[in-house]
Amino acid sequence: MNDSPGWAVPGPSPSDGDRPGAPDGRDGGEGAQPPAQQPPAGGPKWSAEQPPPGEWSSPGAPQAPQAPQAPQTPQPPHQQPQPGAGWGSYAGPQSGQGPSGPYGSPGGPGQWGKPPAAKPGVIPLRPLDLGEILDGAVATMRSHWRSVLPITLVVATVVQVITVLVQKYTLSDLPVTSDAEPSLRELVDTLGGSMLALVANGFIQLIGTIVATAMLTMIFSRAVLGQSSGIGTAWREARPQLLRLLGLTLLLGVGGILLVGVLIAPGIAMGNIAVGLLGGFAALPLLLWLGIKFSLASPALMLEKSSVPTSLRRSSRLVQGSWWRIFGITALTGLITTFVSAIIVWPLSIAGLAIGVADAGPTALENGTAASGWAALILSAVGAVIAQTITMPIQSGVTVLLYVDQRIRREALDLELARAAGLENYGSDPAAPATGG
């Protein structure tokens, strides 16, 4: 098994392989043995074949007929044994249960609601709804601000300082209005230098975002267990996976560019603008679908210590069947963070433009000197630093919690998290809160 910060993850993940007798290939990992061949390790295991609808078999019960045993007192349905140990215990919806297994009806058929669940950290250990995911992201930022805010503040400050310098000394050289038309050579030289500076600036932003995302993922993974994580600890845990995370990010970016290029290439080859635009419009929904499909690859890569191809497969499996739900939560999070950023950035940007106009006169708006002045650039950068410091943890936190939520729904990750959080007999005691996949 591989070890992630605070809680273990399966070596070959439950969603990556097909265990004999497991439905949809979600209950077994690569190289996993059938439960009958696995020695008991502190608790019972689920059998390879799921029990019939509405009836749970005892964990580890043999499938072949056995000799008669002493009669046992039957348990009510809500006290039936739960998956006690091991990975791949996802049983899927059963008869009389909601879409998330036993979580749909804690009090029996017809009594819908949420069962009580242990909450060692920022989220309860059960399938989460939208409010709990957003609340968990905000609660982590609030309760672990000594670790979260310095990371995002440093990254946002470095990125914005470089951005201001690029805008001041490179982009401001682009001709806007001039009495004399610039020569073709001057225009090419100016555009070439500006593009080089933009690429360098974009690469620095990419590196900063990757470092922040990796460290925030580690902090959120511990916050789920109710554990704190310092900046040094988060860095040590994230550092081994940084190159892989960079490779994953570049692969997704290059893949998106190639997809757009392939779809607009026919229009370019034919010299037909309409065909090119049609290809571009066709690329948009494909990019959106692929973006959500692989949106959980980053936390899978960081927390499962997996490779880039494995993390992409894991994300695809976890998102399968929940694309619209994950899309809705991701889109709403984007709208919220965009709105918060606009509230912070726009007033400062307008104030910077006003100062530039006051210094250089009304013509500063026409020739662009107001927007490229120090006042406008610095105030805009200050607003961007504040906005990114606040919104970056929310976006990263929602992604991590979506990953955790999907694994709770599909793989009974709540059992492993409960054991990692030190909750004794969680999921095996009949009086304990109901758990499951």
Least confident of 111-115, 244-248, 324-328: 111-115
User: Is 226 within a domain?
Assistant: yes
3-state helix, strand, coil in the chain (%, to 5): 60, 0, 40
pLDDT in tens, 85-125: 333 333 333 333 333 444 433 433 333 455 578 899 999 99
Instruction: Give the per-residue pLDDT at 169.
Output: 78
Least confident of 48-62, 141-155, 306-320: 48-62
What pTM does this model have? 0.71
What is the 8-class DSSP label of residue 7? Answer: S
Q: At residue 317, does pLDDT exceed 70?
A: yes
* pLDDT level of residue 182 (50, 70, 90 thresholds): low
Q: What is the pLDDT averaged over residues 343-349?
A: 93
User: Is 37 within a domain?
Assistant: no
* pLDDT level of residue 424 (50, 70, 90 thresholds): confident
User: Is 44 within a domain?
Assistant: no
Output b/e per residue, 155-190; b: 16+ Cβ within 10 A. bbbbbbebbbebbeebbbeeeeeeeeeeeeeeeeeb
Q: Write the Ramachandran bin of 320: left for phi over 0, alpha for psi from -120 to 50, otherwise beta.
A: beta
Least confident of 22-31, 89-98, 317-326, 335-344: 89-98
Higher pLDDT: 342 or 76? It is: 342
Give residues with Cβ within 8 angstroms of 240, minimum separation 6.
305
Distance CA 258, CA 237 (A): 33
Supply 139's token pair.
Answer: 């609660």
User: Is 94 within a domain?
Assistant: no
Least confident of 43-47, 125-129, 260-264, 353-357: 43-47
* pLDDT level of residue 186 (50, 70, 90 thresholds): low
Give the sign of the dihedral formed by CA 5, CA 322, CA 308, CA 199.
negative
The residue with tokens 């310098």 is 165
* pLDDT level of residue 201 (50, 70, 90 thresholds): confident
Instruction: Give the per-residue pLDDT at 373.
Output: 79
Q: What is the pLDDT averaged over residues 306-320?
A: 96
User: Is 68 within a domain?
Assistant: no
Instruction: Give the per-residue pLDDT at 367.
Output: 63
Instruction: Give the per-residue pLDDT at 13.
Output: 41
User: Is 52 within a domain?
Assistant: no
SS3 call for 383: helix
Length of the chain: 437
214 exposure class (CB count in 10 Å sphere: 0-12, 13-18, 19+) = buried
Instruction: Give the per-residue pLDDT at 63.
Output: 43
pLDDT in tens, 372-410: 778 888 999 999 999 999 999 999 999 999 999 999 999
Q: Chain-wide mean pLDDT for the chain?
A: 75
Higher pLDDT: 201 or 130? It is: 130
Instruction: Give the per-residue pLDDT at 194.
Output: 67
Distance CA 31, CA 155 (A): 41
The packing angle between helices 308-319 and 273-293, to 10°, is 90
pLDDT in tens, 16-63: 444 444 444 444 334 344 444 444 444 444 434 434 443 333 333 444
Q: Which of 74-83, 166-175, 417-426 has the highest mean pLDDT?
A: 417-426
Q: How many CA atoms lie within 13 A of 11 on its CB side?
A: 4
User: Is 40 within a domain?
Assistant: no
**Domain count within the chain:** 1
- Percent of the chain scoring above 90 in pLDDT: 47
User: Is 115 within a domain?
Assistant: no
* pLDDT level of residue 167 (50, 70, 90 thresholds): confident
pLDDT in tens, 202-220: 888 889 999 999 999 999 9
SS3 call for 3: strand
Instruction: Give the per-residue pLDDT at 174.
Output: 53
Structural domain boundaries enclosing 165: 131-413
